[in-house]
Amino acid sequence: MEGEIPLSKNLNELDQKHFIHPTSSIQQQQEHGPAYIFEKGDGIYLTDNKGETYIDAMSSLWNVNLGHGRSELAEVAKEQMEKLAFSSAFSTFSHKPAILLAEKIASIAPKGLNAVFFTSGGSESNDTAFKLARHYWKLKGKPERRKIISRKKAYHGVAAASTSATGIPQFWDMAGTFMPDFVHAETPYEKGTTEAIESVRQVIEQEGPETITAFIAEPVQGAGGVIIPPDDYFQEVRKLCDEYGILFIADEIITGFGRTGKMFGMEHWNVQPDLMTFAKGVTSGYIPFGGVVVSDEIHDMMKERSTGTLFHGFTYSGHPTASAVALKNIDILENENLAANSQKMGKRLLQGFERIKKDTNMVGDVRTLGLLGAVELVKDPSTNERFPAEWKVAGKVINALYDRGVICRPVTFDSTDIICFSPPLIINEEQIDTMVEKVYDAVLAVEKEIGLKRSP
Ligand code: PMP
């Protein structure tokens, strides 16, 4: 084909010269070029341009919930593109795919959340949620309610406001983009539930409840290390929010659309948010998309008092093609009972992890909620003593997994060595077992490499 680049070497050079990769080491890229150039996806597998096939145990970026290569989604996109690829949803313009998708999302969202603002991804969704929450308070005559409480280890994205809500300081430092009016409470990781909840109360009291717009949390913290909260945690935080009149935003960007074994993560604890953000799994990554669902109270306030233009809108808010793909994606999730499969496979994955913990010498906590899971590597499982950061143990295990054909992701903030798992929701028992065997083998290999012996 004319213009085709025949050699992977050329692609490496072009990549180094012209492609600034997101969340990446620029120097490593300049030294080595990209390690993997993927060409094809099929089910839970990705194949690179050298013909090697890998299990995509992260659903790429926690998002390819339906797995790769679903032609139904491609067909819907083609049909919609040929009919009406794009038209505006600003002002008085509308179109059928976005209208039908808004109705569908309202029907599956928590009770009382029935109106949707669409975006192109997660960061835009969280920035939008903060602005809508402030807008609500402004309409209610309390414009001084501006502060957002999030938590340490939270990841809410990299737009201006979502960077500030993110509780991993490395993301603020990159460009000094920490905005005023963002505060972070403790999270229930290595802190008891009581301590974590008390920390939210303390932050509210310190800042002054009358200055606070909203509290935001991921049901399970993803990029912070797959941190699953204790069962009563979110109900207690919801009570606190009610006590102080603070809006509760659920960031369901990873946890939405079946990931944790329910359609949305907060359903595990019957906690009702006032706003809910989503992205990723809404289209399984086949096309960029996201949004915010708001409560009837917020929507009613807007209907009643937002008299002028709502000065907030992305070109692609409600993109017709993306909306059509999202509708089909949700249809498939429901028809194939993928939330239920996620719950079932997540339990099997946990059993596998527990076996690895029992039979090796460097696995501490293992956990899953649906198909969101983590294996923590520690120097001494009896005390949870961590490895020295310079041993780079998580990195070694990740590399051993690549060698065995599994793509996972490490979390090493705060000197942790956490291996995260988030495979496509279509995964079956045999594939789970294969993945677990490979993880076991990789852990054993690294254990041998670093010469770790079980303490007597
Ligand atoms: N919130 C959470 C919980 C996320 O995991 C992410 C992405 N990893 C985002 C927000 C940001 O989404 P995006 O990268 O689509 O902007």
Give mean pLDDT, residues 198-227.
98
The verdict on the CB of residue 218 being under 6 Å from ligand 1 is yes
Query: Residue 155: pLDDT above 50?
Result: yes
Distance 156 CA to ligand 1 centre (A): 6
> Phi and psi dihedrals of 150, rounded to 5?
-125, -160
Distance 379 CA to ligand 1 centre (A): 31
For tokens 């949390």, name the residue.
Answer: 217
pLDDT on residue 342: 98
Atom of ligand 1 nearest to the CA of 154: 3
122 lines ligand 1 (CB under 6 A): yes
Q: Which CATH number fits domain 36-69+338-450: 3.30.565.10, 3.90.1150.10, 3.30.470.10, 3.30.1240.10?
A: 3.90.1150.10
User: Is 357 a pocket residue for ligand 1 (Cβ < 6 Å)?
Assistant: no
CA 123 to centroid of ligand 1, rounded, Å:
6
Asked whether 214 and 275 are in contact (CB, 8 A), the reply is yes
User: Which tokens hold the place of 154?
Assistant: 């939270």
Q: What is the DSSP string of 188-222?
A: SSSS-HHHHHHHHHHHHHHH-GGGEEEEEE-SSBS
Interhelix angle for 193-207 vs 233-244, to 10°? 20
Q: Is the CB of 251 under 6 A from ligand 1?
A: yes
Pocket test for ligand 1, best of 119, 254, 266, 282 (most atoms within 8 A of CB): 254
Q: What was the pLDDT predicted at 453? A: 63
CA–centroid distance, 279 to ligand 1, in Å, is 8
- Pick from 21, 275, 280, 292 the residue to mutate for probing ligand 1's pocket: most ligand atoms within 8 Å of its CB: 280
Which residues of the chain does CATH 3.90.1150.10 include?
Answer: 36-69+338-450
Q: How many CB atoms lie within 10 A of CB 22?
A: 6
Please work out whether the CB of residue 318 comes within 6 Å of at least one atom of ligand 1: no
Which CATH architecture best describes the domain 71-335? 3-Layer(aba) Sandwich (3.40)
Instruction: Give yes or no for residue 452 having a pLDDT over 80.
Output: no
Whether residue 252 contacts residue 63, with contact meaning beta carbons closer than 8 Å, is answered with no
Mean pLDDT of the 211-225 span = 98
252 CB less than 6 Å from ligand 1?
no
The residue contributing the CA closest to ligand 1 atom 10 is 156
For all residues of the chain together, what is the average pLDDT? 96
ipTM score assigned to the predicted complex: 0.99
Q: pLDDT tens across 248-304, in order?
A: 999 999 999 999 999 999 999 999 999 999 999 999 999 999 999 999 999 999 999
Assign 86 to helix, strand or coil: coil
Q: Is the CB of 223 under 6 A from ligand 1?
A: yes
Task: State if residue 154 touches ligand 1 by the CB under 6 angstroms criterion.
Answer: no
CA of 239 to the centre of ligand 1 (A): 26
339-347: average pLDDT: 98
Is residue 270 exposed (0-12), middle (13-18) or buried (19+ Cβ within 10 Å)?
Answer: exposed
User: What pTM value is reported for the model?
Assistant: 0.97
- The response to whether residue 285 sits with its C-beta less than 6 Å from ligand 1 reads no
Residue 123 Cβ < 6 Å to ligand 1 = yes
Q: List every span in the chain annotated with CATH 3.40.640.10.
A: 71-335
378: Cα within 13 Å, side-chain hemisphere = 16
Task: Return contacts of 160-167, CB within 8 angstroms, 24+ apart.
Answer: 160/127, 161/126, 161/127, 161/130, 161/131, 162/122, 162/123, 162/126, 162/127, 162/130, 163/123, 165/126, 165/130, 165/216, 167/224
Q: Is 167 in the pocket of ligand 1 (CB under 6 A)?
A: no
Strand 363-369's sheet: what is its strand order?
A: 363-369, 372-377, 418-421, 409-411
